[in-house]
């Protein structure tokens, strides 16, 4: 029996190692530590040089047409170049053409740099994807076949040292598996049949024991294949909000195109002439090129930030939905609480001393290798000075294992029988032996339950008969900082709901301590589904986490369903995100990343539209001041000449794109606040900044141009 307990303990320890060693990510608000790394990486010359060929390849009109704003700039670049060839000596035309081409390349470079990190991650994943030989079971005999020939439903055998040939579920056995190729974590994890930790991924390696796996995916559709496609961008679809913004930008472009098209006849009537180069420069400066250039990079960077945190989003739609979530469903165990209940105190019944209760509790827990059992032994040792006795010292003892039927465990030694377990079971055991149950036993147990703890009764039978000694208070400890995190979510207008199988009294106590808004006790899969549908019927977006097959319906119903990588294949297929670290708390961070994506897109859109206003003051007076002297009053920047004004605006228009790429990739710093306050903040920083920056930038460029001889 000791060997079995030790084996169980090792398995539990191995499973516990699935808690990510990248925990700092889960505790750092989005946009802090990783921001510096991403932003710094952008200006790495190697990264820029590597991305430049991709940026030039994206000049293909078939690619550019997907971004209407930048497609117009590309067409304008071609036109100005053609007209410059008709007048080779016109330095102004050539200069405008060069900067327009740079504008397009800078826009493509932003997207190429964002995609470059994804390609690097995909290369790493490809190293994990190896062509393996599978040991397929056919009529109880093994045959070796290439992994590419496996089909859904095939059974394969894997032993220590074997690479798992495809995605599937363990249907027989238990083994330690190295998933570092997928998760980046070196600690092995346990995969076993018949539970929520049965899913295995192709490309991972079995370290010990023997398992039989049922293949659940076709070749080319494995988890690694999907990850490669996603991080490379092959499966990236534009989100609804992104499509809507593209339509808005295209509409503004058409409006300004029509407005510019009406200027030549007006200029001819006024006695001046506008060249095609000037008209194209005017159009490019008026349309929202800044956000048009950065829109794709913002979306790619949002998914990339999730990948950096070991979360795989199946689509950009899921990331965006996370930013709009208004209800968050969180499992209690392992998410809000540490998951392992710990002994907090010993409460003796009347007539029994704490020391006697502690001695009996420790004795009954010596063979209990669960975290709860270990905590009882430690509490008795530290608080009451009882030394930790070992099973070797009790060679004649008969250990009573816990079973689901008896709901008790204990020991028979030296003529005494000590039992520890659920209140009802221990009380029944005492009464069966003719003992009396102290009146305060139920009172103490109920008081612990109402406080959110779990009561374990301790009883003894000796020469004085059978009797209850007292109650052990097991407490499910709420993780540090959870109340503050929930308060941040509340400030963002997000409702938090704790999901637990505990009774309502225990659930309410934990919910009050953690600071969640609501809870669902004694939750069944049907209860979870009903809650999600009820919230969605009220127009709310719902996010939740899960890892078991029983969570699959709710994960599929939720707008953002985050499946744990340690969970079943059904759960991973049902969710639209997979957390490779299997850290349920990360759902809170996913919501923050989604909100950061939306905030970044909104902030840069505000900046882009605002800085177009300043360009009007630079170009319009320059074009018509000679004909309409009154327009000189609008030349508040006092630009040196019409040509210099137009050229300065075009140069600024190109440079501001490359200047904003780090912000687009890193994201606007996220701070928990309500929508009204966030809008005021963005208008103050990016709206006002978008107005002021062009006035300063265009004036500085104009001064530099005026210093060039002959211009």
- By annotation, the residues acting in catalysis are 331
User: Using alpha carbons only, how large is the chain's radius of gyration in Å?
Assistant: 33
Does 406 carry a binding-site annotation?
Answer: yes
Tokens of 150: 């496996």
DSSP letters for 631-684: GGGG-TT--S-HHHHHHHHHHHHHHHHHHHHHHHHH-PPP----HHHHHHHHII
CB atoms within 10 A of CB 157: 17
| C-alpha span between 621 and 629 (Å, rounded) | 9
Cα 521 from Cα 512, distance rounded (Å):
13
What are the CA-CA distances from residue 274 to residues 42, 75, 635, 646 (Å)?
39, 18, 19, 12
Structure tokens at 218: 């076709």
Task: Report the DSSP beta bridge partners of residue 178.
Answer: 205
Q: Give the integer Cα–Cα distance in Å for 710 and 536.
A: 67
Rounded to whole angstroms, the Cα distance separating 634 from 649 reads 15
37 CB-near residues (< 8 Å, 6+ apart): none
What tokens appear for 190 in the block? 């346990």
Q: Is 702 annotated as a binding residue?
A: no
Known binder of ligand: residue 372? yes
409 among the known binding-site residues?
Answer: yes
8 Å CB contact between 430 and 459: yes
Is 67 one of the annotated binding-site residues?
A: no
Q: Bridge-partner residues for 471, per DSSP?
A: 347, 457
Instruction: Compute φ and ψ for 459, nearest 5 degrees.
Output: -130, 160
579 is in an annotated binding site: no
HEC letters along 372-402: HHHHHHHHHHHHHCCCCCCHHHHCCCEEECC
What distance in Å separates the CA atoms of residue 71 and residue 84, rounded to the nearest whole number? Answer: 20
Q: Which residue do the tokens 């808004």 mark? A: 517
**Tokens (6 digits) for 301:** 């960077």
Instruction: Measure CA of the first residue to CA of the last residue in the chain; give whole Å.
Output: 93
Annotated binding residue 402: yes
What is the full DSSP assignment across 69-84?
HHHHHHHHHHHHHHHH
Neighbouring C-alpha atoms within 13 Å toward the C-beta of 447: 11
Write down the H helix ranges in 216-370: 223-232, 240-261, 263-270, 276-286, 289-308, 316-323, 354-364
Q: How far apart are CA 644 and CA 640, in angstroms?
A: 6
CA-closest candidate to residue 373, choices 14, 16, 8, 3: 8
Helices 688-706 and 586-624 pack at an angle, to 10 degrees, of 50
Is 132 a known ligand-binding residue? no
Query: Cα–Cα distance between 453 and 509 in angstroms, integer?
Result: 8
442 marked among binding-site residues? no
Residues comprising the binding site for ATP? Answer: 368, 372, 402-409, 420
Residues comprising the binding site? Answer: 368, 372, 402-409, 420, 547, 551
Residues comprising the binding site for Mg(2+)? Answer: 547, 551
């Amino acid at each position: 029996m000791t060997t079995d307990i030790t084996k169980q303990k090792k398995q539990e320890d191995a499973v516990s190692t699935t808690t990510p060693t990248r925990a700092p990510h889960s505790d750092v608000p989005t946009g802090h530590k990783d921001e510096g790394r991403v932003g710094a990486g952008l200006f790495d010359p190697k990264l820029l040089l590597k991305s430049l060929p991709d940026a030039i390849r994206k000049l293909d009109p078939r690619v550019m047409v997907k971004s209407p704003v930048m497609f117009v700039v590309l067409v304008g670049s071609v036109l100005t170049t053609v007209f410059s060839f008709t007048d080779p000596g016109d330095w102004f035309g050539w200069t405008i053409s060069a900067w327009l081409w740079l504008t397009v390349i800078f826009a493509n470079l932003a997207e190429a740099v964002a995609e470059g990190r994804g390609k690097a991650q995909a290369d790493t994943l490809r190293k994990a994807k190896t062509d393996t030989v599978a040991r397929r079971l056919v009529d109880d005999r093994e045959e070796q076949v290439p992994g590419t020939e496996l089909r859904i439903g095939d059974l394969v055998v894997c032993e220590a040292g074997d690479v798992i040939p495809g995605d599937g579920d363990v249907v027989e056995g238990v083994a330690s598996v190295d998933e570092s190729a997928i998760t980046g974590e070196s600690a092995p994890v346990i995969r076993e049949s018949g539970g929520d930790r049965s899913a295995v991924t192709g490309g991972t390696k079995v370290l010990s024991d023997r398992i039989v796996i049922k293949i659940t995916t076709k070749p080319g559709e494995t988890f690694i294949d999907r990850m490669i496609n996603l991080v490379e961008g092959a499966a990236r679809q534009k989100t609804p909000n992104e499509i809507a913004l593209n339509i808005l930008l295209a509409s503004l472009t058409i409006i300004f195109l029509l407005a510019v098209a009406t200027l030549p006849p007006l200029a001819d009537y006024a006695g001046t002439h506008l060249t095609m180069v000037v008209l194209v420069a005017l159009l490019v400066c008026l349309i929202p090129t800044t956000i048009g250039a950065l829109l794709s990079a913002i979306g790619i960077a949002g998914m990339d930030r999730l990948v950096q945190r070991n979360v795989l989003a199946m689509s950009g739609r899921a990331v965006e939905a996370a930013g709009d979530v208004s209800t968050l469903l969180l499992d209690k165990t392992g998410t809000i609480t540490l998951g392992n209940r710990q002994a907090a105190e010993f409460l003796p019944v009347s007539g029994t001393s704490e020391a006697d209760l502690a001695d009996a509790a420790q004795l009954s827990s010596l063979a209990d290798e669960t975290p709860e059992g270990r905590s009882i032994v430690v509490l008795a040792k530290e608080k009451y000075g009882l030394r930790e006795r070992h099973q070797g010292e009790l060679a004649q003892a008969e250990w009573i294992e816990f079973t689901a039927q008896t709901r008790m465990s204990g020991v028979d030694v030296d003529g005494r029988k000590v039992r520890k377990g659920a209140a009802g079971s221990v009380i029944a055991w005492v009464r069966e032996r003719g003992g009396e149950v102290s009146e305060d036993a139920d009172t103490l147990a109920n008081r612990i339950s109402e406080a959110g703890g779990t009561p374990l009764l301790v009883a003894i039978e000796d020469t004085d008969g059978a009797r209850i000694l007292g109650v052990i208070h097991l407490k499910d400890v709420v993780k540090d900082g959870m109340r503050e995190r929930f308060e941040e979510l509340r400030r963002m207008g997000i409702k938090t709901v704790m999901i637990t199988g505990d009774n309502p009294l225990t659930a309410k106590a934990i919910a009050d301590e953690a600071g969640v808004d609501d809870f669902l006790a004694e939750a069944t899969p049907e209860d979870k589904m009903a809650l999600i549908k009820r919230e969605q019927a009220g127009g709310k977006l719902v996010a939740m986490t899960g890892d078991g097959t029983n969570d699959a319906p709710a994960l599929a119903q939720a707008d953002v369903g985050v499946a744990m990588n340690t969970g079943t294949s059904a759960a991973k297929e049902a969710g639209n995100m997979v957390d490779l670290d299997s850290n349920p708390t990360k759902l809170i961070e996913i919501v923050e990343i989604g909100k950061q994506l939306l905030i970044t897109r909104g902030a840069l859109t505000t900046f882009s539209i605002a800085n177009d206003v300043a360009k009007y003051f630079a170009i319009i007076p320059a074009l018509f001041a000679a004909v309409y002297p009154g327009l000189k009053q609008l030349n508040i920047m006092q630009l040196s000449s019409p040509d210099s004004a137009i050229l300065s605006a075009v140069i600024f228009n190109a440079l501001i794109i490359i200047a904003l790429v780090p912000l687009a990739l890193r994201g606007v710093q996220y701070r928990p606040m309500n929508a009204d306050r966030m809008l005021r903040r963005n208008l103050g920083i990016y709206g006002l900044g978008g107005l002021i920056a062009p006035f300063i930038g265009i004036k500085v460029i104009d001064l530099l141009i005026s210093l060039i001889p002959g211009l």
